[in-house]
Amino acid sequence: MTDRATPADSAPAPRRRRRRRWLRWTLAGLGALVVLLVGGILIYSQVGVMGPEAGPLAEAEANLGLTITDSGAGILLSPTSGATGQGLVFIPGAKVEAEGYIATFADTVVDDGVTVVITRPWLNLAFFDPRPLSTFTDLAPDVAVWAVGGHSLGGVRACQLATDADALVLFASYCANDLSASGIPVLSLSGSEDGLSTPQKIADAKAELPANATFVEIPGASHASFGAYGPQPGDGTPTADPAEVDRVIAEELAGFLPQP
């Protein structure tokens, strides 16, 4: 009994060599494309990263009522005394260092006893951070109820984690996934002078949230007003005092966050 040659084996040798060359070129091209894509993402994520403003950060660090603990996964802000058992996991905006939000939440932590975890997203971009909410809530096991929130792109990621939390807070942000039937309490804080998450964009995305979501537009606040990391390209010009914006944020959170 004779063996039958497969179609590939029966092809002339020059044709087989051309197929092998084509396969090698294709794989090499795909490999080069992956390298360029990964390299481009790495470069983009590290160029133009916005750090904290020195003055507001130093003032927060000097506040004796505020305990700051860097866990690597995030920065834990806890009240030195008077903790309420309420917590907020906060996800920074794209290419903004976690330290850029410490001053923003100092009033919330010290005056209202809320524990805040500011995450450190992988590659400084929340979309590339697949870690679950529990990675950050586990940093403060004594907290009984948790809200999740985020600024700008961080808010988009917070929307994806919202069903694992007790509430959702958007800081100059909006959802890309549909939470309209989730029943989760939502607070949306925005700025009238925001040039990135503009008032129109906030309004256009309302349908993604439950009908009873609370919307608060802070007069004079820009996109960067929700942190303390300096001006941001493409943003509007803020007219509100940064301390006033922080005070409004603290007041709105105090009236919104679920009780234990």
Tell me, yes or no, whether 135 and 216 share the same domain.
Answer: yes
Tell me, yes or no, whether 91 and 19 share the same domain.
Answer: no
Encode the chain (260 residues) as per-residue pLDDT tens digits. 445 545 545 556 777 677 776 766 666 555 555 554 544 444 444 556 899 999 999 999 999 999 999 998 999 999 999 999 999 999 999 999 999 999 999 999 999 999 999 999 998 898 889 999 999 999 999 999 999 999 999 999 999 999 999 999 999 999 999 999 999 999 999 999 999 999 999 999 999 999 999 999 999 999 999 999 999 999 999 999 999 999 999 999 999 999 99
Tell me, yes or no, whether 20 and 109 share the same domain.
Answer: no
Residue 105 belongs to a domain: yes
Residue 148 belongs to a domain: yes
Nearest to 119 by CA among 78, 152, 74: 74
Determine the pLDDT at residue 28.
58
Q: 10 Å Cβ neighbour count for 166?
A: 18
Tell me, yes or no, whether 78 and 136 share the same domain.
Answer: yes
Burial (Cβ within 10 Å: 0-12, 13-18, ≥19) of residue 3: exposed
CA torsion angle 38 124 153 225 (round to 10): -150
Residue 155 belongs to a domain: yes
Tell me, yes or no, whether 89 and 118 share the same domain.
Answer: yes
Determine the pLDDT at residue 179.
98
Tell me, yes or no, whether 129 and 38 share the same domain.
Answer: no
Tell me, yes or no, whether 25 and 69 share the same domain.
Answer: no
Tell me, yes or no, whether 79 and 198 share the same domain.
Answer: yes
Contact 98, 119 (CB under 8 A): yes
Tell me, yes or no, whether 71 and 13 share the same domain.
Answer: no
- CATH code: domain of residue 133: 3.40.50.1820
Determine the pLDDT at residue 12.
67
Determine the pLDDT at residue 44.
44
Tell me, yes or no, whether 125 and 64 share the same domain.
Answer: yes
Find the domain containing 19 and state its range.
7-46
Residue 197 belongs to a domain: yes
Tell me, yes or no, whether 109 and 34 share the same domain.
Answer: no
Single pTM value for the model: 0.84
The count of domains in the chain is 2
Residue 20 belongs to a domain: yes
Residue 2 belongs to a domain: no
Residue 29 belongs to a domain: yes
